[in-house]
Amino acid sequence: MMNITPVVKQLLIINIIFFIGSQLVPVSYDYLIMYFPENPDFRIWQVITHMFMHANLLHIAFNMFALYSFGSMLEHFWGGKKFLFFYISCGLGAALLNFAVNYYSFQDSLNVLIANGYSKTYVLQLLSENQIAVKWKEILTVSQFENFTSAYGSAVLGASGAIYGLLTAFAFMFPNAELALMFIPIPIKAKYFVPGLLLVDLFLGLKGSSLFGSGGTGIAHFAHLGGAVAGFLMMLYWKKNQFNNNRWN
């Protein structure tokens, strides 16, 4: 197995420190995970800090294992600075797409409420007090109401978006490398494995969005896709500009 590279090692340490700290001081979740921007609990630094927060031991263990497995190899080829730039950029791409989807769900229902005589200020005030107007359930469809309230109260945490970017880069660079999931121990080439994984996320994300109605899994599938899209676009740009082979030391 490849040795842990310097930046990956530092990222592992930072994530572990954040996780232990959040377990010792649970209130830290309110300040460091990323809330919907219309939510009064949103803080600008959450765009970065949410990448280092995890919900439980299984969550961080899975992400850190993936970071070690794929990150060390990519850093070995790219150099530390290029790898860190890629990793953070994928995390930001994940946050951006997740916000865009939640904004669509929220704004779609908010426009319906405004059209029925409610002001945006009044709606946001009620939501900030963890209240709703009973009439909203009569105005909005079931899926609109569920997506409206869940988008406002949603919070994103974890390195998964950045990890999906690493997976995409790995498949881009080593398409014929064989990968396998723990619960599906059948080797599959990366060029098939990663797109397949993304299609599952897309299906589950759409199933839980206002496009297909309710039925979400509690996982930020669009954050995963956002990280993958950001990673793919960067890899495509670097390849097109003959930049992919250059290290940033």
Q: What is the pLDDT of residue 227?
A: 94
Element (H, E) at 120: helix 120-128
Is the pLDDT at 193 greater than 50, yes or no?
yes
- Greatest Cα pair distance in the chain: 62
Instruction: Give the pLDDT confidence of 12-56 residue by residue, as tens digits.
Output: 999 999 999 999 999 999 999 999 999 999 999 999 999 999 999
Is-contact 147 209, C-beta < 8 A? yes
Burial of 86 by CB count in 10 Å (0-12 exposed, 13-18 middle, 19+ buried)?
A: buried
Output phi, psi for 181, to 5 deg.
-80, 155
**Range in 47-51, 162-166, 170-174, 215-219 with the lowest mean pLDDT:** 215-219
Is the pLDDT at 217 greater than 60, yes or no?
no
Q: What is the pLDDT of residue 157?
A: 93
Tell me the DSSP string of 4-50: PPHHHHHHHHHHHHHHHHHHH-GGGHHHHSEEPTTSTT--TTHHHHG
The candidate with the shortest Cα–Cα distance to 33, out of 157, 218, 163, is 157
Is-contact 162 91, C-beta < 8 A? yes
Is-contact 92 227, C-beta < 8 A? no
- In total, the chain counts a number of residues equal to 249
CA contacts within 13 A on the Cβ side of 226 = 24
Q: What is the pLDDT of residue 216?
A: 44
- Which of residues 205 and 2 earns the better pLDDT score? 205
Region 205-224: mean pLDDT is 60
- Contact residues for 219 (Cβ-Cβ < 8 A; gap 6+): 204
Instruction: Give the pLDDT confidence of 74-122 residue by residue, as tens digits.
Output: 999 999 999 999 999 999 999 999 999 899 889 999 999 999 999 999 9
Distance of alpha carbon 7 from alpha carbon 84, whole angstroms: 7
- Contact residues for 164 (Cβ-Cβ < 8 A; gap 6+): 90, 94, 198, 224, 225, 227, 228, 231
**Range in 156-160, 187-191, 224-228, 235-239 with the lowest mean pLDDT:** 187-191
C-alpha distances in Å from residue 152, one per residue of 1, 12, 146, 172: 43, 31, 10, 35
Residue 50, both tokens: 């949410």
